[in-house]
Structure 1
Amino acid sequence: MIVDVGDTPTLTWRLRDDDGEPIVPTLVVADVRDPAGQITSLTVGSDGPGNFSVQPPITVEGDWRVTWRSVGPDQVEVVGIHAFPAGEAAVWAPTLRQVAVHIPSRTRSQDSYGDDVNRPLGTFTEDTYPTGDDVSRLIGASVAVVSGMVGRPVVTPAYGLASAATALWAAYWAELSWPERDADVSLAQRLREDALLLVEQAKAVNLGAGGGTENQPDPDGLPDRLVSFSFPAPGPPLIL
């Protein structure tokens, strides 16, 4: 989530079972960690069975993290927040889940065991690789890149396309920044190509709606074009 310093965003947590029925835990608590590492408890509200909300006050620029915990059943949910100086956040910035849908294998918990080892969480947390904080920073950087190519200001009719392009761009950077095999690099390039297609569509909509009055950079001139990774093929077996 991307916000401005001074915002008090409303975060919701909806607990449901496999049939979509509300889960009513014995206890639900939440806290927020600020960029300096200070952890503060939050007041949890509820507007119905299984529906919970908090409103963390965002007071300084940087990476924040809200952690939900329930008892009976025991569940944990982590939400990353990146705060920009007032007036610089994009209301159309994608969420962690919107980035995760493009690279679900990256949302596996590094601390999972048994049947949960290969089960994607569908979002990024402190236990995924990359973490929620990592991807929040990528989202912030991707907003800057996409808004620059689409043209500022990005106006309301272009929000959806700009958000989708930014989610793809953040996923592209996540794959490129944390490669584990050559396939990750190939996927990254496909994500980038898809992002650029959406950027062009968003740019056309934005210009048609009266936005994009500032100059747009050439995407081929972006420095990440220079980055490449390769993994050597395995050599012959070692015979002792």
Structure 2
Amino acid sequence: MPGVGGLPSREAPEWAPLRENVADYVPHRTLARRESTTTAGEDVYYLTFDSDTRPTGWAVDRLIGDGIAYITGQVSPLHVSLQATAAVIATLYAAAAVERSWPNDDQSLQRANDMEKRMADMLVALVSANDRANGGDGEPGDADKLMLAYSFPAPVAWGDSYL
């Protein structure tokens, strides 16, 4: 893959999904219609994205990059044991964006909503699992469990005279 999100592949994380992974969730988007064909039976499903598909492979690479940015913004540092899960979430992000951005039938937006719901549920689980893997307890809302500690200077003997 030349890169993700317009970045050279050396800057993409090793767990970055490929165009083919996105195509697994939206295979109907990989249909390449040829001008020379006269029947739909001669059209080909590539099961990847390239310059002949709608959206193009370049557009899908950018969506994959957006999905990676979304995940790394929520989960950092990502534990190595959870990279495959992060790749699935980034793939769902890109597939949902394809359906939402290039709707081709009445069900496109519903498919996008369904994938986004699945992605959100998986992201919550990923955050929790990542916290446990990195030494935390994995419970959501750990910030709510913090106890504030205050420190005040010792009172002065003449302080009551101000009352």
TM-score bucket of the superposed structures, by smaller chain: 0.7 to 0.9
CA distance in 1, matches of 2:95, 2:81: 23
RMSD between superposed Cα atoms in Å: 2.3
- CA 211–186 in structure 1, closer or farther in 2 if over 3 Å, else same: farther
How much has 1:107 moved relative to structure 2? 0.3
Aligned to 1:124: 49
Aligned to 1:152: 76
1:182 aligns with 2:119: no
SS of corresponding position for 2:78:
coil
SS of corresponding position for 2:125:
helix
- CA 207–120 in structure 1, closer or farther in 2 if over 3 Å, else same: same
Deviations 1:181-206 (A, max 9, x none): 33101110001011112212221221
Moved more, 172-181 or 104-113: 104-113
Deviations 1:38-59 (A, max 9, x none): xxxxxxxxxxxxxxxxxxxxxx
How much has 1:180 moved relative to structure 2? 2.1
How many equivalent pairs are there? Answer: 133
- CA 136–157 in structure 1, closer or farther in 2 if over 3 Å, else same: same
SS of corresponding position for 1:203:
helix
Higher relative CO (Cα under 8 Å, sequence separation at least 6) belongs to 2
Q: Answer 1 or 2: which has greater helix percent.
A: 2
SS of corresponding position for 1:100:
helix
Cα pair 1:2 1:140 within 8 Å, conserved? no
Pairing 1:8-157 to 2, within 5 Å after superposition? 63=6, 82-83=7-8, 88-111=11-34, 113=37, 114=39, 115-117=41-43, 119-149=44-74, 151-157=75-81
SS of corresponding position for 1:101:
helix
CA distance in 2, matches of 1:205, 1:93: 19
Q: TM-score when scaled to structure 2? A: 0.73
Aligned partner letter, 1:92: W
Q: Which has the larger radius of gyration?
A: 2
Cα pair 1:96 1:132 within 8 Å, conserved? yes
Q: TM-score when scaled to structure 1? A: 0.51
How much has 1:83 moved relative to structure 2? 2.0
Query: Which residue, out of 148, 155, 162, partners 2:86?
Result: 162
Q: Answer 1 or 2: which has greater strand percent.
A: 1
SS of corresponding position for 1:182:
coil
Structure 1 residue ranges without an equivalent (≥5): 5-61, 64-81, 213-240
